[in-house]
């Protein structure tokens, strides 16, 4: 029995910006229903990898296959409409209402108004946004609300793949935790494929099925959280040291507190 | 209180519909053209830094050309184009008035619109443009749905700046034959009618503020979510302005005589006199005042105006570029023949001459023993001379210098009305004045004899446009003016008009007619 076809297949992809090689010969397969976190220091190429997947930029070499279709052969605009994307700190359109932001992709594909309106209501309920926020402008929302709108916007056209670029980075820890959990539940419920770029290792470990570690444009490790914690590579061990120490100290402190 | 009861106010108000309407038409047309050209250019070049630089450079240069010069430059340009078009396509158009004014003002509107549109589009957070692509927008959708609306406040600010500039600068389109609120200002400056000057400035400022306010309303509406009412209000205001400006133009009848006037006092009075004569004969006539002396003859030849008064020497030397100086009669005969080649009728002489003349205070002249220009030439290196804006580049000045070997210590250009006061006060020693000017007597100045006849004769002559050549009603109405105005009467009329306090040019024209009529009895 052959393994099922991956949702996203990244094959020996490279991309340079001037003399800097942002993504260097990266190969990676992401399966149906999988939640993959991509971690690494800033400048490690993780955001470039994300932008390569929905053709916001084209690779210099290598190939990316989405659901069996070579992305170089498909229309990039149509491809992006099929893939949801959540941007760093939201990137909501400031001149549009919450509802207009959420309904933007269905509107681009020319869906009837009523269907879009129904879809907006459904999405707002899905990401737990109160209906009275519909007419608000992004600047009238809290950071957490904004990011929920961002998630709703990414999901509105019913994509099977969602790309997230440090989606919760700018939020306070509590909101961040709640939002992460809420999104993970949505991911499972809708059977999505999620690729989330983050610099927060703890978040990656807690939310993702698998973690990919990037370092200077190269993919240095891909594993599930448990195996990743046993990885002996020096860079990966350094990366995991901070959350591990934090967790141990927290565990000790909290244990004392309960006594 | 007497200030507001001044009859000049009511005269200014009476002219407002005509001047304001024309001003609105030319300004809004120029603004619309400027927008229609600049906005697409800004969009096309927004991703092309080199083209953008060139474009902004050209617009900046156009902006540095003084408004008056820019407007004046478009006149000969269009004249040449009209001639070419007539030759190649058999289609001619008027290079006078509306068209050159609109083109020059549109050029003026371009810089703020271009610069603000480009700045506005460049100032958008790149993350939002990436988000627009990320949610699946095409380049065009990104522009229409995200970049354009976000840049709009900056773009609208540019449009508002352009509107204010264009409305202000449009006052300078009077000399190229476009009626505007500048007619008040040019006429007012010439006849020392400060009521007119103030009225023109205030009207232009009010119009600029009103248009700016309407655009601000639209901008506000565009920026706010539920601003449709404001957009509608602003757009309706602009539409109302356009409709109102068109109304007087449409009401105008075609059998309408237009009398031209150059930019000095005597011309204002004479054009009023001619218009009054026509009106008295039951022919409806208006004046088109403040036309540049380079523009007015072409306007007559092309039938844009129907009649005006020019001076034999000016036509001979400036219009037809002859350098020889003929005796008075011979000049008039040659001129009439030359004018006939263009289809223009030299209807007759009015009876006086308005020549350039070197003028100085009588007391100073006798103290220095100067009676003629030849006497002056010997003392000239120690003296200063002032002339109007065109004098020193006119052939007469070259002829004078050659004939007498004139070489002044200093040479200045001045507004003609200030020249006489300046020479009387000793600011300058000699001025190039005009023989028919009433101020010569008022300031006790003396005209120096031109014994060598270097300055050609300048008989005031009444010209008719080609299409009015056989207009009997017009000829009958104007015949009483031929040979009817002597130099003393014209001087007095000019003095009255320049004073301003004794009445407007129209009042003086009525006085002048009374003098003529009294003599006929």
Classify residue B146 as left (phi > 0), alpha (psi -120 to 50) or beta. Answer: alpha
Closest chain A residue to B226, measured at CA: A135
In this predicted structure, the answer to whether residue B263 has a pLDDT above a threshold of 50 is yes
> What is the structure's pLDDT at B253?
45
| 8 Å CB contact between B217 and B237 | yes
* Percent helix, percent strand, percent coil in chain B, to nearest 5: 65, 10, 25
Cα distance from B138 to chain A (closest Cα, Å)?
A: 6
Residues of B in contact with A157 (CB under 8 A): 136
- Mean pLDDT over B216-234 rounds to 78
Residue A162 binned pLDDT confidence (cut-offs 50, 70, 90):
very high
Local confidence band at B138 (pLDDT 50, 70, 90 cut-offs): very high
Shortest distance between the Cα of B27 and any Cα of chain A, in A, equals: 32
- Contact residues, chain A, for B128 at CB < 8 Å: 91, 93-94
Mean pLDDT of B218-237: 78
Distance CA B21, CA B24 (A): 5
B506 pLDDT band (50/70/90 cuts)? confident
List, in sequence order, the alpha helices (H) in B380-436.
395-404, 416-424
Mean predicted confidence (pLDDT) in B364-382: 90
Lowest-pLDDT range of A203-212, B22-31, B199-208, B218-227: B218-227
Contacts of B149 in chain A (CB under 8 A): 95
Give the integer Cα–Cα distance in Å for B461 and B314. 11
- Among candidates B127, B128, B135 on the partner chain, residue whose Cβ is nearest the Cβ of A105: B135
Using the beta-carbon criterion (under 8 Å), do A95 and B149 form an inter-chain contact? yes
- More confident site: B463 or B94: B463
Minimum Cα–Cα distance from B125: chain A residue: A91
Instruction: Give the pLDDT of residue B255.
Output: 45
Interface residue A55 vs chain B (CB under 8 A): no
Half-sphere exposure (Cβ direction) of B63: Cα atoms closer than 13 Å: 17
Q: Do A85 and B225 touch (CB under 8 A)?
A: no
Question: Residue B521: its pLDDT value, please?
Answer: 57
Query: Which residue has better confidence, A246 or B116?
Result: B116
Task: Check residue A3 and report its DSSP letter.
Answer: P
Contacts of A108 in chain B (CB under 8 A): 135-137, 141
- What gap in Å lies between CA A62 and CA B241, rounded to an integer? 63
Distance from CA of B134 to the nearest CA of A (A): 6
In angstroms, rounded to a whole number, what is the distance separating the alpha carbons of residues B198 and B153?
Answer: 34
pLDDT at B2: 46
Mutation for testing the A interface, residue in B125, B129, B136, B143 having most A CBs under 10 Å: B136
A34-85 pLDDT per residue, tens:
999 999 888 899 999 999 999 999 999 999 999 999 988 989 999 999 999 9
CA B490 to chain centre: 24
Q: To the nearest whole percent, how much of chain B has pLDDT over 90? A: 35
Query: Which residue out of A54, A102, A104 would a mutagenesis test of the B interface target, given it has the greatest number of B Cβ atoms within 10 Å?
Result: A104
Under an 8 A CB cutoff, do B131 and A93 touch? yes
Q: Is A80 on the interface with B (CB under 8 A)?
A: yes
Pairing of strands A218-223, A210-215: antiparallel
Contact B112, B38 (CB under 8 A): no
Give the lowest-confidence range in A37-46, B8-17, B397-406: B8-17
Q: What is the pLDDT of residue A1?
A: 44
Express as a percent the part of chain A with pLDDT over 90. Answer: 67
Q: Strands A218-223 and B410-413: what pairing? A: unpaired
Is the predicted pLDDT of residue B501 greater than 70, yes or no? no
Binary contact (A77, B137; C-beta < 8 A)? yes
User: Between A and B, how many residue pairs show a Cβ–Cβ distance under 8 A?
Assistant: 56
The predicted pLDDT at position B1 comes to 39
Can you give the pLDDT at residue B254? Answer: 46
Name the residue with higher pLDDT: A12 or A239: A12
Mean pLDDT, all residues of chain B? 86
A102 touches chain B (CB under 8 A): no
Question: Kind of pairing, strands B356-361 and B445-447?
Answer: antiparallel
SS3 track for B74-110: HHHHHHHHHHHHHHHCCCCCCCCCHHHHHHHHHHHHH
Please state the separation of Cα B284 from the chain's center in Å.
23
């Amino acid at each position: 029995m052959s393994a099922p076809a991956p949702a996203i297949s990244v094959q020996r992809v490279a991309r340079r910006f001037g003399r800097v090689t942002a993504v260097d010969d990266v190969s990676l397969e992401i399966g149906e229903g999988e939640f993959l976190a991509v971690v690494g220091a800033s400048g490690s190429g993780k955001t470039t990898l994300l932008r390569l997947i929905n053709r916001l930029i084209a690779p210099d070499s290598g190939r990316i296959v989405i659901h069996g279709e070579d992305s170089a052969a498909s229309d990039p605009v149509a491809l992006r409409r099929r893939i949801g994307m959540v941007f760093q700190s939201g990137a909501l359109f400031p001149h549009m209402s919450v509802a207009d932001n959420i309904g933007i992709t269905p509107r681009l594909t020319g869906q009837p108004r009523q269907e879009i309106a129904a879809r907006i209501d459904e999405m707002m309920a899905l990401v737990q946004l109160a209906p009275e926020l519909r007419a608000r402008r992004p600047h009238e929302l809290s950071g957490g609300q904004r990011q929920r709108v961002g998630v709703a916007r990414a999901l509105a056209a019913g994509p099977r793949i969602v790309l997230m670029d440090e989606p919760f980075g700018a939020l306070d820890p509590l909101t961040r935790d709640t939002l992460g959990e809420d999104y993970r539940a949505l991911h499972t419920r809708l059977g999505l494929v999620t690729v989330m770029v983050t610099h927060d290792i703890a978040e990656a470990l807690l939310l993702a099925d698998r973690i990919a570690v990037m370092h200077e444009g190269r993919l240095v490790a891909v594993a599930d959280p448990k195996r990743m914690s046993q990885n002996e590579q020096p860079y990966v061990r350094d990366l995991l040291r901070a959350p591990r120490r934090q967790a141990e100290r927290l565990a000790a402190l909290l244990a004392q507190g309960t006594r | 209180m007497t200030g507001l009861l001044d009859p000049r106010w009511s005269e200014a108000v009476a002219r407002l519909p005509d001047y304001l309407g024309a001003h609105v038409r030319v300004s809004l047309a120029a603004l619309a053209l400027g927008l229609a050209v600049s906005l697409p250019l800004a969009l096309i070049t927004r991703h092309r830094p080199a083209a953008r630089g060139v474009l902004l450079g050209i617009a900046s240069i156009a902006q540095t050309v003084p408004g008056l010069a820019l407007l004046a430059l478009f006149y000969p340009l269009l004249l040449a184009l009209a001639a070419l078009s007539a030759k190649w396509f058999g289609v001619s158009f008027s290079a006078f008035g509306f068209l050159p004014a609109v083109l020059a003002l549109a050029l003026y509107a371009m810089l703020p619109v271009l610069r603000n549109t480009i700045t506005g589009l460049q100032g958008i957070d790149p993350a939002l443009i990436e988000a627009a692509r990320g949610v699946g927008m095409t380049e065009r959708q990104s522009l229409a749905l995200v970049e354009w609306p976000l840049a709009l406040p900056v773009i609208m600010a540019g449009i508002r700046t352009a509107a204010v500039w264009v409305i202000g600068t449009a006052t300078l389109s009077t000399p190229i034959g476009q009626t505007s609120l500048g007619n008040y200002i040019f006429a007012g400056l010439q006849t020392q009618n400060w009521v007119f000057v103030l009225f023109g400035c205030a009207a232009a400022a009010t119009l600029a503020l009103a248009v700016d306010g309407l655009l601000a309303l639209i901008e506000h509406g565009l920026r706010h979510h539920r601003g449709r009412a404001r957009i509608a209000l602003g757009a309706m205001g602009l539409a109302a302005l356009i409709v109102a400006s068109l109304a007087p133009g449409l009401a105008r009848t075609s059998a309408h005589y237009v009398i031209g006037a150059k930019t000095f006092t005597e011309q204002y009075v004479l054009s009023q006199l001619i218009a009054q004569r026509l009106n008295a004969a039951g022919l409806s006539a208006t004046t088109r005042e403040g036309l540049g002396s380079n523009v007015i003859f072409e306007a007559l030849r092309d039938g844009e105006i129907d009649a005006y008064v020019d001076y034999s020497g000016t036509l001979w030397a400036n219009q037809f570029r002859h350098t020889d100086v003929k005796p008075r009669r011979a000049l008039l005969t040659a001129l009439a023949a030359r004018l006939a080649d263009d289809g223009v009728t030299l209807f007759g002489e009015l009876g006086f001459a308005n020549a350039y003349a070197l003028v100085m205070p009588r007391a100073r002249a006798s103290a220095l023993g100067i009676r003629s220009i030849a006497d002056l030439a010997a003392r000239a290196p120690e003296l200063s001379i002032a002339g109007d804006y065109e004098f020193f580049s006119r052939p007469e000045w070259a002829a004078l210098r050659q004939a007498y070997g004139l070489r002044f210590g200093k040479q200045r250009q001045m507004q003609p009305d200030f020249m006489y006061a300046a020479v009387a006060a000793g600011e300058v020693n000699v001025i190039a004045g005009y023989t028919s000017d009433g101020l010569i007597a008022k300031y006790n100045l003396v005209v120096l004899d031109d014994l060598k006849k270097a300055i050609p004769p300048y008989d005031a002559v009444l010209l008719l446009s080609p299409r009015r050549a056989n207009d009997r009603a017009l000829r009958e109405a104007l015949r009483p003016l031929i040979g009817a105005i002597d130099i003393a009467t014209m001087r007095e009329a000019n003095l009255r008009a320049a004073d301003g306090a004794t009445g407007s040019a129209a009042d003086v024209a009525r006085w002048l007619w009374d003098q003529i009529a009294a003599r006929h009895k």
